[in-house]
């Protein structure tokens, strides 16, 4: 894999995700609970935001030759979340597929527009950093896989949940 293939793939996945969100439309629908258990689309976006912030910060560290090591103790994991405001998503102590409800709760009183604005900025930081990284840096740090884990794989999971929810509310209204 190289950046000339990966970046367009990432952008296509991003476009599909944004199209779905545009399909949902109204702010009111974005805050309705029950899309995924008791979570709203806004809550799911907060989860994606924290994942994108996580990988954007790791990319920035690589650009500045700073070392990142996944947390290997629960104390370190708690300190990481306190310091950064999101969990260490690459720690072996964290369940990868589960949403971090502490990170979602942190965004509870933040408006949808602010979450969307921050999420778009985080995504932009990912693209900007990726464009500046060398091919060797991408390979040395397994970035194509890592970026996918924190961007388009969560987009796909969230899209499946939203589509299921949209079908269920359409069925209920008929």
The domain limits of the chain are: 3-173
pTM of the model: 0.92
The confidence band for 37, taking pLDDT boundaries of 50, 70 and 90, is confident
Per-residue pLDDT at 166: 87
Superfamily the domain 3-173 falls into: dinb family like domain (1.20.120.450)
DSSP 8-state assignment for residue 174:
-
Both tokens assigned to 159: 């899209």
Both tokens assigned to 149: 């884990």
More confident residue, 173 or 40: 40
Distances in Å between the Cα of 30 and the Cα atoms of 6, 45, 136, 157 are: 30, 9, 40, 16
CB neighbours of 44 closer than 8 A, spacing ≥ 6? Answer: 35, 36, 99, 158, 161, 162
Per-residue pLDDT at 18: 93
């Amino acid at each position: 894999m190289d950046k000339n293939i990966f970046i367009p793939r990432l952008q296509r996945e991003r476009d599909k995700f944004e199209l779905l969100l545009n399909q949902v439309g109204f702010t009111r629908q974005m805050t309705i609970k029950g899309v995924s258990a008791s979570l709203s689309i806004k809550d799911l976006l907060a989860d994606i935001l924290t994942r994108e912030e996580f990988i954007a910060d790791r990319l920035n560290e690589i650009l500045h030759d700073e070392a990142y090591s996944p947390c290997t103790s629960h104390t370190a994991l708690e300190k990481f979340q306190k310091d950064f405001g999101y969990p260490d998503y690459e720690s072996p102590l964290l369940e990868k597929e589960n949403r971090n409800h502490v990170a979602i709760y942190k965004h509870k009183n933040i408006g949808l527009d602010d979450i969307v604005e921050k999420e778009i900025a985080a995504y932009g930081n990912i693209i900007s950093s990726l464009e500046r990284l060398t091919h060797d840096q991408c390979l040395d740090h397994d970035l194509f896989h890592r970026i996918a884990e924190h961007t388009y794989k969560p987009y796909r999971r969230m899209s499946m949940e939203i589509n299921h929810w949209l079908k269920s509310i359409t069925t209920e209204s008929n």
